[in-house]
Structure 1
Amino acid sequence: MPNQLTGDPKQQDVSKFADSMSGSCLCGSITVTLKEKGLFDKPRGHLCYCANCRKVAGSYVASNLLISEDDVQIDDRNGTLTYYEDTASMSGNSVFRYFCKKDGNPVKSETKLYPGKVVIKMGMMPRIPKPEAEGFGLHKHPWQGKNEGVPVYKIKWAGPDKEEMDE
């Protein structure tokens, strides 16, 4: 049974997500619960415009949340969680991209670059926090708008080689 928290995200009051938030894949086999308190207290997560994230998201941008793996609970009631090892990353490190093998819904990514952390694919959640940054801004389409108050980085949004775009 698919998650009932779908539709207009503005109908989901963020106060009910003060302690946790859950979402599911399209078929409902996989449920992801984020157990981070205060998820909506400040900007959180990032938008990524790199080609690989766009492909995984099936869109011009992916909404991602880098979070401690200890703050994430994944329930896979029908055993549909599987992964693809993406070896075509800029860092040269594999990115393990997890998804539901029944409906194709992206769930999370893992890489050695962020030990103890996972990248949750936020499209499955009922609400998405305002992003703290945008990555791979050089890869944005010319028609894309600007998210006010959100810094845009040329390539990486985190790490020592991050460089903000000139506006």
Structure 2
Amino acid sequence: MAEGRCNCGGIKVSIPALPEKTMICYCSNCRRAGSTIGSLIYLLDKSEVNIKDPNGNLKSYKDSDTKSGKPITRQFCGNCGCPIATLISDDSPIVVLKSGLFEHIPAPADKSFAEEEPSWIKILEPGEKRM
């Protein structure tokens, strides 16, 4: 069992096991939603994701200005603002879970919207360290 949480700890997430690899999405919507260069994500079956929100902190909004033209639902903690997940559609069996919720984050194995990756990005190779 792998467990993660938002910054304030108000929302906890559990999945059966931590995936071996992440994906990084460079779409402009993910960059804005996280105020970062890209979003590190896991694509998981909804049935495998357990979100515990005892205080009702989980908030969501419809993001309609997407590259696909299909609206998505972005979920976040209403207390600390931490992104939690993205729902592709109500009937999709897949949930896009933010891998930053977990202490250990595996290296990205794939890219989404790779054409929008900033040209100055260099992902560290396994074992490579920089300060």
TM range (shorter): 0.7 to 0.9
Looking at structure 1, the residues matched to 48 and 90 of structure 2 have their Cα atoms a distance apart, in angstroms, of: 18
Structure 2 length as normaliser, TM-score?
0.87
The one-letter code of the counterpart of 2:87 is E
If asked which structure has higher relative contact order (CA below 8 Å, sep 6+), I would say 2
Are 1:64 and 2:72 counterparts?
Answer: no
Question: How many residues are matched?
Answer: 126
Which residue of the partner structure matches residue 12 of structure 1? none
The answer to which structure has the higher strand fraction is: 2
Alignment of 1:141-160 (within 5 A): 141-146=118-123
- State the 1:35 CA deviation: 1.4
Structure (1 or 2) with the larger CA radius of gyration: 1
SS at match of 1:66: strand
Which residue of the partner structure matches residue 133 of structure 1? 110
Are 1:111 and 2:91 counterparts?
Answer: no
Structure 1 length as normaliser, TM-score?
0.69
Confirm or deny: 8 A CA contact 1:93 1:113 kept in the other structure. Answer: no
Which residue of the partner structure matches residue 129 of structure 2? none
Looking at structure 1, the residues matched to 3 and 89 of structure 2 have their Cα atoms a distance apart, in angstroms, of: 25
Confirm or deny: 8 A CA contact 2:73 2:89 kept in the other structure. Answer: no
Provide structure 1 residue ranges, at least 5 long, that are not aligned to the other structure. 1-19, 150-167
The one-letter code of the counterpart of 1:39 is P
Q: Give the 4+ runs in structure 1 shifted more than 3 A.
A: 146-149
> Which of 39, 42, 47 lines up with 2:19 in the alignment?
39
SS at match of 1:99: strand
Confirm or deny: 8 A CA contact 1:35 1:73 kept in the other structure. Answer: no
Confirm or deny: 8 A CA contact 1:63 1:123 kept in the other structure. Answer: yes
Provide structure 2 residue ranges, at least 5 long, that are not aligned to the other structure. 127-131
> Which of 60, 82, 87 lines up with 1:83 in the alignment?
60
Looking at structure 2, the residues matched to 144 and 45 of structure 1 have their Cα atoms a distance apart, in angstroms, of: 17
SS at match of 1:103: coil
Are 1:26 and 2:3 counterparts?
Answer: no
- State the 1:114 CA deviation: 7.6
SS at match of 1:96: strand
Q: Percent identity, please.
A: 30
